[in-house]
Amino acid sequence: MERFKWIQRSLLGDDREQEDDLLGEFGDGSCSLSPLQRLYGFAASLVIGFAFMLLSLVVFYKPIKFALLFTFGNLFAVGSTAFLIGPVQQARMMLDPVRVYATIIYVGSVVVALVCALWVHSKLLTVIAIVSEICALVWYSLSYVPFARRMVSELLISCCDTEL
């Protein structure tokens, strides 16, 4: 358990010995989970997310069902880290200036994918929203790896460069 607390403090960049509760506030103690419960919550949410994403591949030929399963799986997987660092800290990290645009595009794509799948029933718009969601999630995820965005940008520019 001490190792988990060390990992949590290093991820947060926090040297305090206090345990971060579920709401991301220190010291209150209400609605808090133990480190083991947090790991179980993280693992369960991540497994559920991956299961939904794998199930979405089974119905890939039906874009609306695919969009629903894939989007909910995606939300479970992204939300799983809230068990480790808390939802408030996760929201702060998502709204960092480095990744705020990717977050906005990702959340917007999730909403558009669900609206297109549930209300509009447009397969083309649903597929476009899912592709946008995947691209935004990849770009958002790359923001956590130092220099990854720059490397991917330069790689895409070099691949798409048409000069001879």
> Taking the CA of residue 4 as centre, how many other CA atoms within 13 Å lie in the half-sphere pointing to its CB?
14
| pLDDT(119) > 80 | yes
State residue 33's pLDDT score.
86
Lowest mean pLDDT across 26-40, 124-138, 140-154: 26-40
Tokens 């119905």 correspond to what residue? 59
CB 21 within 8 A of CB 32: yes
pLDDT, one tens digit per residue, over 138-158 is 888 888 888 898 999 999 898
| pLDDT(50) > 70 | yes
Distance CA 7, CA 77 (A): 20
Question: What's phi and psi for 62, nearest 5 deg?
Answer: -115, 95
Query: What proportion of the chain, given as a percentage, has pLDDT over 70?
Result: 80
pLDDT, one tens digit per residue, over 75-113 is 999 899 889 888 999 999 999 998 999 999 999 999 999
Give the pLDDT band (50/70/90) at residue 7: low
Could you give the 3-state DSSP secondary structure of residue 20? strand
- Give residue 73's identity as a one-letter amino acid code: G
Name the residue among 47, 80, 71, 55 with its Cα closest to residue 134: 71
* Cβ-based neighbour number of residue 98 at 10 Å: 12
State residue 31's pLDDT score.
53
Distance CA 111, CA 33 (A): 30
CB 48 within 8 A of CB 72: no
State residue 121's pLDDT score.
87
| pLDDT(17) > 80 | no
Domain count, the chain: 1
Domain with 44, as residue range(s), is 2-160
Could you give the 3-state DSSP secondary structure of residue 15? coil
Give the pLDDT band (50/70/90) at residue 8: low
Give the pLDDT band (50/70/90) at residue 163: low
pTM over 0.85: no
| pLDDT(39) > 90 | yes
- Give residue 96's identity as a one-letter amino acid code: D
